[in-house]
Structure 1
């Protein structure tokens, strides 16, 4: 709410429980110019067990919220004109994501496969995920 500029951010937080020792969960947040909230895109594995799509799209005020008690790290931040140009490309890539209904911890597709695939598909989104982003290589 404090900025009227477009924003594109990617976050990673330690995975839930003991998994956080060696893995992270990552997600993408975008906010078009003058938008009141962020749109957060992420893949959540337990949703598949409930018969729901793994890919979630939600409106959030705080895209940097904790992930099961783990503080997120901002790993990519773009604001302004370039962010505004990236947002429709990201939305298009999200719509084309091939594993919307699939989740497998290893080797993927999982919560890190999703942003890795979006990064690969969106020209100009020059981000990289941390080494602990297990499953990010599944997108290659």
Structure 2
């Protein structure tokens, strides 16, 4: 009788907690993806991606004009309906005095690591890229040899290694290559699905920026907290979070809203 008497008041409380959790899930995860889907189907992204524009978006000056060393990370919405949820990221480097940029993508076709397969700042099958990281000069020059070495040693480099979800994919490649240069302060967009895939197999590790910790459930879920990353919650690749370094919120499908990154 005592057990029954004690448990009865708990039922309404548990019910209220359950409703609040469900409401929070709908607001934070489901609603943003629904909005992103609506925006996608109202845009021209549904057109034939095979014939889409892949020309330069004009985000980089000619290599011969900019004599400094350059490191860039770009991101653009990915191909077809997957663009509702996800972005494709890639790395561009140029050593000091070099006459050309080098672009590195990780793709699902051909050799996974594709070098100079597209213009350095090219549109990704019609979708204009954004600059995620821009570093020039001495800091870039110091990081480039490490970045190139990490690309050469990347473990998932054979045909068949690429997996769109939960990884390893293009964003896994960029996230893990760039861990060799944490001083650059890279934070990939929360729409970069695959960035949290455990490349090293560890479920608990330092965040890519080296400023926090990440709990990773095989890429299917997880939790991160760090100065650069902020707080991020990953549910089956959909990531929501808040940032502190440059105050912002991040929503699945919709991305970042807040103070513009440098």
**Structure 2 residue aligned with 1:18:** 81
> Aligned pair 1:126/2:185, yes or no?
yes
Give the ranges of 4+ consecutive aligned residues of structure 1 lying more than 4 Å apart after TM superposition. none
**Structure 2 residue aligned with 1:57:** 115
Aligned-pair CA distance for 1:128:
1.1
Task: Give RMSD over aligned pairs.
Answer: 1.5
Per the alignment, in what secondary structure is the counterpart of residue 124 of structure 1?
helix
Instruction: Note the 1:1-140 alignment, pairs <5 A.
Output: 1-47=64-110, 53-58=111-116, 62-101=119-158, 102-138=161-197, 139=199
CA contact (8 A) 1:37 1:59 kept: no
Larger RCO (alpha carbons 8 Å, 6+ apart): 1
Q: Distance in 2 between matches of 1:65 and 1:120?
A: 24
Gaps of 5+ in 1: 48-52
Give the greater-gyration-radius structure (CA). 2
In the superposition, the TM-score normalised over structure 1's length comes to: 0.90
In the superposition, the TM-score normalised over structure 2's length comes to: 0.49
Q: Distance in 1 between matches of 2:156 and 2:82?
A: 22
Gaps of 5+ in 2: 1-63, 201-262
